[in-house]
Each structure stands twice: as C-alpha cells, then as structure tokens.
Amino acid sequence: MNNPHHLNPTSLKSRFTTRFLRALTKIRAQKPISSSSPTEIFRRYRRIKVAADKSMAYSVRSRRIWSRAMLWKLRSRSYRRQDPCSGRRSGKTNQAIMKKSSNGNITRRREDGVGFVEEADELRQLVPGGETMNLCNLLDETAHYIKCLTTQVQVMKKIADFYSF
C-alpha cells in the first residue's frame, strides 16, 4: 500500500476525501433541507464543483504549477466578489506568479512545439496555468493533473454511490 514514487495515491486520495467531505457537510448545512428549487440545486451544484476543485488543489498544495494556478484562481475569485477593485491588481500578480513558475520561458514556447503547436496550445487551455508553461513543464504537469482528476472522479463517484441508494 506504500507508494514511494511521485504521486502517492493513498494519501492524496484520503486528503482529498477528508477535505471534500468536510466541504460537502458545510454546503449541506448552509441551506434548509426544504429547498429543492432548481435554482437552489443549481447553486449547490456550483458550490460542490468549486469545493471539489478546491479540495483537490489544497490537497496538492503548491507543489505543482497547475495547483498553484488553480489556488490562485480560486482565491482571486473570492476576493473579487468582496472587492471589485482588486481585479486589476490581481491581474498583475498573476503575471508575476506565472513568470516565476515557468522560468521566464513565456516568449520561448513557440520554438519548442515543432509540428504540434496547435495541440500543445489546446492542452494549455485545459491544464490550469498552462498558458505560461513551456512544453516540458506542460507535459509533466499534464500527467500529474490527469492523475489527480482520475482520483477526484473516483472519490466523487464512490461518495455519490455510497449516499444514493
């Protein structure tokens, strides 16, 4: 059960599960049970989705470029809701964070992708923080991101099955 290599599925899974269950409990407690209007259910679905991403990003912490990008996105979103003026400032901060993580290779990335620039760019849109990654980082981050996504799906499925019979 002990995986010494890169991603330890056991601990990431349990970290994510614990966080996510905690978030679900909070979301459930927020609204009275009587409300089952489509609007309410929709709002809940959005909250659950954010909670799932948040739980995963926090479980990975800042060890990965993509998790840092996701955490930044989640945090700036909640700030923006409180203070509309912070939007401009956070844009600049984003550049600074991204520049640091990609080793300043922002302008260089085109020369790396010989023959598959389009596909690489498409991938960049899908992986959080991908727009500023060089090709090497992008491929590395993608592998980890996929592993985390599959964990996320697996756990959420188990939870849904567990509570829906």
Residue 21 binds to other proteins (criterion: CB under 8 A): yes
Binding test (CB under 8 A) with other proteins, winner from 2, 4, 33, 85? 33
Residue 155 binds to other proteins (criterion: CB under 8 A): yes
Cβ atoms of 24 and 48 within 8 Å: the answer is yes
Q: Which of residues 53-82 bind other proteins (CB under 8 A)?
A: 53
Q: Which of 132, 134, 136 is nearest to 69 (CA)?
A: 132
- Exposed / middle / buried, residue 107 (Cβ in 10 Å: 0-12, 13-18, 19+): exposed
Q: Which is nearer to other proteins, 44 or 73 (CB)?
A: 44
Residue 105 binds to other proteins (criterion: CB under 8 A): yes
Binding test (CB under 8 A) with other proteins, winner from 70, 71, 98, 120? 120
Cβ atoms of 99 and 106 within 8 Å: the answer is yes
Cβ contacts of 79 within 8 Å, gap of 6 or more: 86, 90
Residue in the structure block whose two tokens are 């407690």: 29
- Exposed / middle / buried, residue 105 (Cβ in 10 Å: 0-12, 13-18, 19+): middle
Residue 110 binds to other proteins (criterion: CB under 8 A): no
Interface residue list for other proteins (CB under 8 A) = 1, 10, 13-14, 17-18, 21, 24-25, 27-28, 33, 36, 41-42, 44-46, 48-49, 52-53, 103, 105, 108, 111-112, 115-116, 119-120, 122-123, 126-127, 134-136, 139-140, 142-143, 145-147, 149-150, 152-160, 162-164
